[in-house]
C-alpha cells in the first residue's frame, strides 16, 4: 500500500484555522524551540509522505491540526522537518508516515498508525494505552501481517509531548564517585515504595523514592541502579494470573517504547503535560544532594514492537528496514533478545539515536551512569555477527560527553553470546555473572569450588587482568532483579513462577540455590538458623570482595518473591518491597549497614588494583597453602597483611563441620580481634565501627559449619 494522501477514513482535524508554518531545519532531531515556535524534525529514509499531528488532549482521536510534510519542501536528505509558529512546550503531537507496505521486502508503512517520535522527551500516559489497537496488520486476514490494518489507533495511542530543554537546573557538579568507593543498590522505582508498608506519601513514584533517600543514605550505599525508567507500556501483557484471574502487567519495563522519555506512570503529578520530566529531575537532584549517584538500566537492544505480529507505534512505522535486524527474507525479525526483535545497533542512524539518547540522559537529566541490558547485542553487525571492534560500543566508551560516566554491560545476550571478562575496553565494567554463580556454588557446598571462589573474592583477575582491566571492571553481585532474592536463594531449590501464567517455563532453570530441608518458609529453628547464616555469608562475601559490590534492594531485610525467580509481570506484593520485613529482620539490616561501614573504613578492601602476592595471602585451615585441586576442600582464609596499621583476615567455611584455622603470626605489639562472625547471634555477629572483640586464643580461630568470619589486627 502506498499513497500520496492520508486515507479518508482518518478523522479530520478539529480546527479549520491554518497554522503559520515554514520549512524548518533538519537538525537537531526532535522538537526544539526556535524563533517563537517549535521546529519538528524526524528521520525516515523510505517514507514517501509524513504528517505531523498536533493534539489538545491525550485521549483525542482527531488532531487539532494536521500538517503534511512533503519531500519537495520539508525534506533534507533523510530528515523531514517543519517549523510551526506559536507552538509551545506542553504541546501533544504524533506522526503518520506513508510508504510501501511490503513486509516481504522489509517495509511496513501504514498511515493509519499514529507514531511516537523516537526523539520524544516525554509521552502522555493514560490507562487505556492498548498496543493491541496499534497492530499494523489486519488480524482478520489469514496471512495477517501481509495485509495492513485500516483501524485508526490514535485514541488509545500515547502522544508525544514537547518539552522545554533546561540543562542548568542543578548547580552542583556530577558526583563521580571513584569505582573503588562505589556501592550500588539495585531497585525498581515503583516496587520500592508501592507497598503500603513503605510509609510514603507518594507510593510507586519518583517522589516516593525521594522520600526513601534518608533510608538509603543511612544504609551507606553510594549509587542506586534504577530498573528501566525509559517509557514502556504496563498494559501490553494479555495473560492473567492463573491463581487469581487478574491480568498481569509489564512490571519491570524491559520493553522500551521511547528511549529518551522517563516513564510517566512513575510521576505522582501525572504525565499529560510532561510533569514526569520535572519530577525525574527533582529526584536526581535529591539523590545528588545526598551524595548518591543515579545509574539507569537502559534497553537499546530491542523495542516493545516485538515480532511481525507485534504493534506498530514508532520505529517500525517510520522505517522498519533501518531500525531492525531482519531475516534474509525480510518479513521476519531476527531475535537475539528473546523478545521478538533486535535493534539494528550497527546502523549509523540507530547508533546516532542511541548516542543521542545517552547524551540526553546525561546532559539534560544529569544521570551518572548506565547499565546496558543484553549489551552483547550492541556489538552485532547487520547480519547479526559479533564484531571484533563494534563501532557503537567504541563510540559510547570514548564519546567526549560520556567520558566520565559509569558504563556497565550485561555482557551476554539471549542467542548464547557470553562475553564476561572480555567485553570491550577499560571503560566498560561488567555485571560479573561468574561471580554470582561461583559464590553461590561455593556456599551451597558444591565440590571443587575453592579456586573459583578465591578468584571471585580477589576481584576476578583471571577474567580481567589479561585485557588490561582492573577490579573496577567486576560488578560483583549475588542476586539481582533477574532471579531469586537473597532470602529465596536460601529458601527454595526450584523456581515457583506459576503465577506468571507461563506454566512455570519462564525464568532460569538453575539458580544454584538450596532450601536446607524445606521448600519455602518454615518454623523449623534449625533450618532457619542455617538460612540466616547463609544470608550473612553471602552478604559478608559480597561486601568485602574486591571489585564493585551491587546489592539487590531489599536483600538487607530478606525481601521475598515467594520463590518466583522471574517476577517481571508481578506488579503486586510478589514484586514489591514489603517493608514489614525490615521489622522482622532488623538484625540482617544492621549486619549489612555495619559491613558497608567496615568496607569504607578499611582501605585494603578498596585496593585500586589487583592484589599482588605481597598484598594478599591465601591460607588453608592449617595455615599453609590451600589445596586448590582438592574437590572436597571447602574452607579458605584470605589474609591481607599489615597495611596502614591494619591487617585483615577473612575466614570462610562452607563445610558441614567446624574448621579451626591456624592464624598468621603477628608482631608482638599486635593482636587479633573478631570483627564479625556469621555464626553468632546479633549483635555479636558484627561489631560497630571502631569496635571489635579480642580473641582469647591468638593462634587459632574456629569457624562454625557454613559460616564466615572477619578478623582484624591492630596495635
The owner of cell 560488578 is 475
> Which of 145, 297, 373, 438 does the annotation list as catalytic?
373
User: Coil, helix or strand for 355?
Assistant: helix
Catalytic residue among 53, 145, 410, 571: 410
Exposure letters 138-156 (e unless 16+ CB within 10 A, then b): beeeeeebebbbeebbbeb
Q: Which of 261, 260, 192 is nearest to 224 (CA)?
A: 192
Residues 6+ apart with CB under 8 A from 558: 485, 486, 487, 535, 581, 584, 585, 588
- Non-local (6+) Cβ contacts of 489 within 8 A are 440, 478, 479, 483, 511, 513, 538
What is the rounded CA–CA span in Å between residue 652 and residue 679?
A: 11
- H or E segment and range at residue 433: helix 433-444
48 a catalytic residue = no
Residue 39 CA to residue 91 CA, distance in Å, equals 12
Phi, psi of 320 (to 5 degrees): -55, -45
Cα separation of 266 and 277, whole Å?
10
For residue 67, give the nearest of 89, 96, 32, 45 by alpha carbon: 96
User: Do you know the residue count of the chain?
Assistant: 715
Q: Report d(CA 701, CA 47) in Å as an integer.
A: 74
410 is catalytic: yes
The one-character DSSP state at 501 is T
Cβ atoms of residues 650 and 641 within 8 Å: no
d(CA 166, CA 155): 31
SS3 label, residue 83: strand
92-98/700-703 β-pairing: unpaired
How far apart CA 94 and CA 161 sit, in angstroms, is: 9
Quickly list H helices, 11-97.
none
Can you tell me whether residue 515 is helix, strand or coil? coil
Alpha-carbon span 105 to 85, nearest angstrom: 39
484 and 534 in contact (C-beta within 8 Å)?
no
Largest Cα separation within the chain, whole Å, is 94
Cα separation values, 210 from 217, 284, 337, 503, 650, Å:
11, 9, 33, 38, 36
Please identify every residue annotated as catalytic.
373, 410
Amino acid at each position: 500500500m502506498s499513497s500520496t494522501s492520508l486515507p479518508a477514513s482518518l478523522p479530520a482535524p478539529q480546527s479549520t484555522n491554518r497554522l503559520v508554518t515554514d520549512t524548518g531545519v533538519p537538525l537537531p532531531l526532535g522538537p526544539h524551540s526556535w524563533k517563537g515556535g517549535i521546529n519538528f524534525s524526524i528521520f525516515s529514509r523510505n517514507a514517501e509522505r509524513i504528517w505531523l499531528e498536533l493534539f489538545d488532549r491525550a485521549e483525542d482521536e482527531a488532531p487539532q491540526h494536521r500538517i503534511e510534510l512533503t519531500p519537495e519542501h520539508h525534506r533534507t536528505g533523510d530528515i523531514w522537518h517543519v517549523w510551526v509558529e506559536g507552538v509551545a512546550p506542553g504541546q501533544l503531537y504524533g506522526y503518520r508516515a506513508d510508504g510501501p507496505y511490503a513486509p516481504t521486502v522489509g517495509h511496513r508503512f501504514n498511515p493509519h498508525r499514529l507514531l511516537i517520535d523516537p526523539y520524544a522527551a516525554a509521552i502522555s500516559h493514560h490507562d487505556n494505552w492498548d498496543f493491541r489497537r496499534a497492530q499494523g496488520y489486519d488480524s482478520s486476514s489469514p496471512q495477517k501481517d501481509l495485509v495492513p490494518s485500516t483501524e485508526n489507533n490514535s485514541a488509545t495511542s500515547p502522544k508525544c509531548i514537547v518539552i522545554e530543554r533546561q540543562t542548568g537546573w542543578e548547580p552542583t557538579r556530577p558526583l563521580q564517585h571513584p569505582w573503588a568507593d562505589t556501592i550500588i543498590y539495585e531497585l525498581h522505582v515503583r516496587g520500592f515504595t508501592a507497598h503500603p508498608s513503605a510509609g510514603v506519601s507518594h507510593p510507586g513514584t519518583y517522589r516516593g523514592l525521594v522520600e526513601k533517600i534518608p533510608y538509603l543514605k543511612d544504609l551507606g550505599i553510594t549509587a542506586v541502579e534504577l530498573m528501566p525508567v525509559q517509557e514502556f507500556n504496563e498494559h501490553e501483557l494479555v495473560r492473567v494470573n492463573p491463581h487469581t484471574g487478574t491480568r498481569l502487567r509489564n512490571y519491570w519495563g524491559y520493553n522500551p517504547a521511547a528511549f529518551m522519555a522517563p516513564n510517566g506512570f512513575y510521576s505522582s503529578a501525572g504525565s499529560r503535560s510532561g510533569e514526569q520530566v520535572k519530577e525525574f529531575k527533582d529526584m536526581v537532584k535529591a539523590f545528588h544532594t545526598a551524595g548518591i549517584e543515579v545509574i539507569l538500566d537502559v534497553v537499546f537492544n530491542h523495542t516493545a514492537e516485538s515480532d511481525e505480529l507485534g504493534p506498530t507505534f514508532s520505529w517500525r512505522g517510520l522505517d522498519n528496514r533501518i531500525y531492525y535486524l531482519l531475516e534474509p527474507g525480510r518479513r521476519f525479525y531476527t531475535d537475539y533478545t528473546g523478545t521478538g526483535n533486535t535493534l539494528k545497533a550497527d546502523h549509523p542512524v540507530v547508533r546516532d539515536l542511541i548516542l543521542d539518547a545517552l547524551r540526553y540522559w546525561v546532559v539534560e537529566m544529569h544521570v551518572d551512569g548506565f547499565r546496558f541490558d543484553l549489551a552483547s547485542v550492541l556489538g552485532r553487525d547487520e547480519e547479526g555477527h559479533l564484531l571484533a571492534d563494534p563501532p557503537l560500543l567504541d563510540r559510547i566508551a570514548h564519546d567526549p560527553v560520556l567520558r566520565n560516566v559509569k558504563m556497565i554491560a550485561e555482557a551476554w545476550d539471549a542467542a548464547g553470546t557470553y562475553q564476561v571478562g572480555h567485553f570491550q575496553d577499560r571503560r566498560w565494567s561488567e555485571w560479573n555473572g561468574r561471580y554470582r554463580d561461583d559464590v553461590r556454588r561455593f556456599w551451597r557446598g558444591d565440590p571443587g569450588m575453592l579456586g573459583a571462589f578465591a578468584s571471585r573474592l580477589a576481584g576476578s583477575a583471571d577474567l580481567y587482568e589479561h585485557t588490561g582491566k582492573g577490579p573496577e571492571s567486576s560488578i560483583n553481585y549475588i542476586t539481582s532483579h533477574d532471579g531469586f532474592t537473597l532470602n529465596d536463594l536460601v529458601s527454595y531449590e526450584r523456581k515457583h513462577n506459576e503465577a506468571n501464567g507461563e506454566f512455570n517455563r519462564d525464568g532460569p532453570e538453575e539458580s544454584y540455590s538450596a532450601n536446607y530441608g524445606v521448600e519455602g518458609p518454615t518454623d523449623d529453628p534449625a533450618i532457619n538458623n542455617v538460612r540466616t547464616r547463609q544470608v550473612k555469608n553471602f552478604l559478608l562475601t559480597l561486601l568485602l570482595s574486591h571489585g564493585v559490590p551491587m546489592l539487590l534492594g531489599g536483600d538487607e531485610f530478606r525481601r521475598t518473591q515467594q520463590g518466583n525467580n522471574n517476577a517481571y509481570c508481578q506488579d503486586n506484593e510478589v514484586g514489591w518491597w514489603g517493608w514489614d520485613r525490615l521489622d522482622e529482620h532488623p538484625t540482617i539490616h544492621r549486619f549489612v549497614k555495619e559491613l558497608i561501614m567496615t568496607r569504607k573504613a578499611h582501605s585494603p578492601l578498596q585496593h585500586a588494583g589487583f592484589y599482588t602476592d605481597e598484598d594478599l595471602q591465601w591460607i588453608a585451615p592449617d595455615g599453609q597453602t590451600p589445596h586448590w585441586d582438592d574437590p572436597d576442600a571447602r574452607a579458605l582464609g584470605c589474609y591481607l597483611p599489615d597495611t596502614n596499621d591494619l591487617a585483615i583476615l577473612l575466614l570462610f567455611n562452607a563445610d558441614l563441620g567446624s574448621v579451626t584455622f591456624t592464624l598468621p603470626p603477628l608482631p608482638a605489639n599486635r593482636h587479633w580481634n573478631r570483627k564479625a562472625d556469621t555464626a553468632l547471634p546479633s549483635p555479636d555477629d558484627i561489631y560497630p565501627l571502631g569496635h571489635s572483640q579480642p580473641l582469647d586464643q591468638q593462634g587459632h580461630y574456629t569457624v562454625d559449619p557454613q559460616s564466615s568470619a572477619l578478623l582484624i589486627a591492630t596495635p
